[in-house]
Structure 1
C-alpha cells in the first residue's frame, strides 16, 4: 500500500519499487509540513469551539433524558458504594428535586439484596460519576464527563487526521466536522455510554497511527545504518501500541462492542508492520512481522486490554455487595480460595451479561436496524415536551439523537470513494478507515438478523469519527497534490470549504431540536427531515 503523500496528497513512489538509500526515510515517514505551533493551535481552537457548543446550557433540559435514568443513578452509586445499587422507584424525581438519597434500604445482613443487575461494564459509569462527584447529582453533573470526552474526541480526530494527511488544515476540517455532527453533539450532552465508547475507540486508533509512524522511523534508521537481512530488526518498546491497547481495553470496559475494534486494530497493526518491512526490501517481511512484531502485539493488544478491563471492576471485587458477587461461595478458608471464588463469581456474571445482550429482543418505538443507520432513517427522540414560552399556543422542546444529514450523506459517498481509492492504490489510510467503519457497522447485521436484537441509531457513535475521516481524505483528494496547478487546487479548496460551510448551516438549522431549545411546534416539525424522524 502507498505511504503518506506530502501535504494534500502528493503521491510517492510505489512501495513495490526497491528502496533507495536517502529516500527510504521520506517514503516511510514523510515529514510534516507547516508550522508546528499551528499543528496544535489549530486543533485546540476547533476543540474550544466544540466545547462552547457542548457546555452552553449543558444542564438543559433539566430532566432525566432517555437512558440517563440508568446511568445517572448507577454512576452515582459507583462513586458512593463502589458498585451499582438498587434505587427507589421515584429516584429520578428525587434527584431532580435535589435529593441524592435515592437508594433502597436493606438490613445490614441483607445488603446483597440491594445489588443492581447491570449489563454494561463500569468504566463509562465511573467517568459519569466523576462529574457527579464534582458538581453534584444534577443534569449538569452527570453530563459533564460526556461533554469533556466529546471535546477530547474533537482534539484527537483533528490531530490524527493531521498525522494521516500531513495537513493541519485537513486535520482542523476533521475536528470541525465532528464538532458539528448532530449525533456526536447530542451524545456529548447526554449521560449515555456511547460517546465514551467513541472517544476510547478513536484514541486507540490514534495511538496506533502514532505507533505506525514511530515504528517506521526506527525501521528507516536501521535501514540507513545496517545491512539488509531477511526479516529486519526488532523495533524496540512500542509504547504508543501499549497506549492503544490500553485505550481499546477501556473501550471494552465501557461497552462490550469495543472488542470488535480491539481485534480488528490488532490485526491492522501487524499488517502495517509487515508492510513497512516489505517497503524497505526485506525478503521475508511477513516472517519478520510474525516473529518480531506479533509477540509485542499479544502483550500490547491482548494482555494490556484484558488487565485494563479487569481493573475497572475493582469496586465490584472490593465489596461483597455487587450483583452476583457471592455466586461462588468459598468452601475453604484462605486468601487463595477467596481470590479463586471471586474470579469464578465475576466470570459467571460476565456470562449472565452476555446472555442478556444476545437475547435482547424487546420492541422499542425508536429502534432501528443497522442498514437504516447510514441514511438516518430512524433517529431516537431522547427527550420531547410541549412547554409554554415560545410565543405561540403550541411549543416544542426536543433532543433528537440524529446526525447532521449533510455530513452523514456525504460520508456515504466518501466511503464509496474510499473503496475505489483503496482498490486502485491500496492506500493504507483508505484501508484503515474502511476497516474501522466496517467493524463498527457490520457485526450489528448478525445481531439484527440472527437474534432480532433491539438496536438504536446511537450505536453508530464509534463509527462517526471514521465517517469524518473518510470525508477528510476525500477532501484531500479533491484539493489535489501540492504540485497540482494552482487553479485546480483553488477550485478543490473551494469545493471542500463549501461542503464544510453547508455542514455548519445544516447543524445550525437542526440546533434547536438537538439542544432542547423551546421553539414553536411548526418550527420543530419543519426540522423533521423524514416522517420517521417523528
Structure 2
C-alpha cells in the first residue's frame, strides 16, 4: 500500500485577508489630495461628461475605465472619494484575482501568498489603486481573466462558465486601455496551440485534450474570441448618445480617430522614458509634489527597488524552467512578461512613461514569487522568506510618498530619491 498524495490546503482565507487588508490601507486618506492630480485632470472630466452626455472628451481611450469612475461619482458624489472609490476596489480585486490565478496554476501556498505580498508592496498597484486613472481597471480585468483561465485548467468541470467569465473580463480589459491587446490574445492562441499539440484528429470539434477537457476549440473561440469583442463593443454604447463629438460615423471610424490620437507625435515630456529604463527601475514619475490640503505632499511612482531588480533574474529563471523542465506556470509567466513588455518595443506611441510598465511589472513580481517558491522547496527557506520581508520593509519606508502623507519640508523628497533620475 502507498500513501495517498498530499493535498495542499487552499489559502483562500489568507488571500481574502491580504486583499482586504490592502484595500483598507488604500482607503486610508484616499480623499487626499482633495483636488484632481496627475492624469485625473483628464479622466475625471471625461467621467463627468459620461454622466451628462454633452460633449465626448478624451476620445483616444476606450470607455470602460471612465465609466467606472463615473459610477463612483454617481454613488459618492463629485468629490475625491467618488473619483477614487472604484479604482480602490479594482486594486483589491486585482490583488485577490492574481493570488487566485497563482494558486490554481501552482497549487503552492507559498507562491500564492508571496506573490500577493510582492504585488501589494511593489508600489505600482498601491499607487494606482489610489488615483482615478484607467490602468487599474485594465489590470483588475486581466487578473480576473487569468484567475478564471487557470481555474478552468485546474478544474475542467467548471471550464465552461470560467471561460465565459474570462471572456467577459478580457473584453473589459480591452475596454479599459489598449495596452491589454497583446496579452488578451494569448489565452485564445494558447488554447489553439495546446489543442493542436494534443494531436486530436478533429481539431476544431474534439472535446478531449488540454488545456480544458470538455471544451471544443470552436467553443473556446466563442468565449475567448467573440465574447471579448462583443463586451468591448458594448462598453462604447454611451458614445453614441453624446450631443457633441459622439460616435456618429460608426464604431470603425471612431477607432480610426482613436488610433490617430494614440499615435500622434507629441512634444517631449520631462517624465518620458523607455522600456530599458523601466526594467532597471531608473525613471520615476512624480504624480504629485506640492503643498496641498495644508501640507507638503508627494506621490512618486517607482518600482520597489528590491523586487523590481530581483525580478529580472527571476524572469530568466522562469523562462529556463519553462523551456527545459516544462514547468507550465514558470513558462507562462515569462511569456506574459515578454508579450506585455514587447508591445512597447514596437508601439507607435511617441511618448512613453513608466506607468506603462505596470502590467509587465506584475508578471515580473509573480515570476519572483515562483522563483522563491523553488528555493522554498529546495529548503533555502530563510532566503525565500527574507525577500518578501524586505519588500514589506521597503514599502513601509516609501509609504509617505506613495500615499501623499504630510512631509516635513519642501525638500523632503531627497529622502527617497536615491538616484538622480528619480528626482
Report the Cα distance in structure 2 between the residues aligned to 1:322 and 1:249, rounded to whole angstroms: 26
SS in 2 for 1:498: helix
Aligned pairs, number: 411
2:359 aligned residue: 462
Shift in alpha-carbon separation, 1:237–1:503, aligned structure 2, 3 A: closer
Distance in 2 between residues matched to 1:136 and 1:49, nearest whole Å = 25
From 173, 182, 186, the counterpart of 1:264: 186
Q: How do 1:144-163 and structure 2 match up within 5 A?
A: 144-163=85-104
- Are 2:282 and 1:310 aligned? no
Pairs within 5 Å for 1:164-179: 164-179=105-120
Higher Cα radius of gyration: 1
Greater shift, 60-69 or 206-215, is seen at 206-215
Aligned to 2:136: 195
Partner of 1:532: 421
Residue 429, structure 1, aligned to residue 329, structure 2: yes
For the 8 Å contact 1:47–1:155, the answer to whether it is kept is yes
Give the 3 Å change call, closer, same or farther, for CA 59–303 of structure 1 in structure 2: same
**Equivalence map 1:103-502=2 (5 Å):** 114-116=55-57, 118-215=59-156, 238-274=160-196, 277=198, 284-285=199-200, 287-292=201-206, 293-317=216-240, 319=241, 321=243, 323-327=245-249, 345-386=250-291, 396-447=296-347, 451=348, 453-480=350-377, 489=379, 492-502=380-390
User: For the Cα contact (< 8 Å) 1:42–1:168, is it kept in 2?
Assistant: no
Comparing 157-166 with 496-505, greater Cα deviation is found at: 157-166
Partner SS state of residue 519, structure 1:
coil
Q: Deviations over 1:351-392 (max 9, x none)?
A: 1111111224332111111121112211211111046977xx
**Equivalent residues of 1:160, 1:206 under 8 A apart:** yes
CA contact (8 A) 1:117 1:323 kept: no
Specify whether residues 250 and 388 from structure 1 end up closer, same or farther in structure 2 by C-alpha distance, changes over 3 A only. closer
Deviates further, 453-462 or 264-273:
264-273
Residue 247 of structure 1 deviates from its aligned partner by 0.7
Deviations 1:423-451 (A, max 9, x none): 2112111121012111211111112xxx4
Structure 2: runs of 5+ lacking an equivalent = 207-215
**Stretches of structure 1 lacking an aligned partner (at least 5 in a row):** 1-25, 86-113, 219-235, 278-283, 328-344, 391-395, 481-487
Q: Distance in 2 between matches of 1:158 and 1:430?
A: 15
Secondary structure of 1:384's aligned partner: strand
User: Alignment partner of 2:344: what SS?
Assistant: helix
Shift of 1:273: 4.0
**RMSD of the alignment, in Å?**
2.3
Q: Secondary structure at the match of 1:400?
A: strand
Q: How has the CA–CA distance of structure 1 residues 238 and 514 changed in structure 2, closer, same or farther, with 3 Å as cutoff?
A: same
Matched, 1:68 2:40: yes
**Conservation of the 8 A alpha-carbon contact between 2:30 and 2:81:** yes
Q: Distance in 2 between matches of 1:143 and 1:58?
A: 7
Q: Match of 2:210? A: none
Q: Distance in 2 between the 1:251 and 1:415 partners?
A: 24
Tell me the residue number matched to 1:338: none
* Distance in 1 between residues matched to 2:264 and 2:239, nearest whole Å: 24
Q: How many angstroms does 1:75 deviate by?
A: 1.2
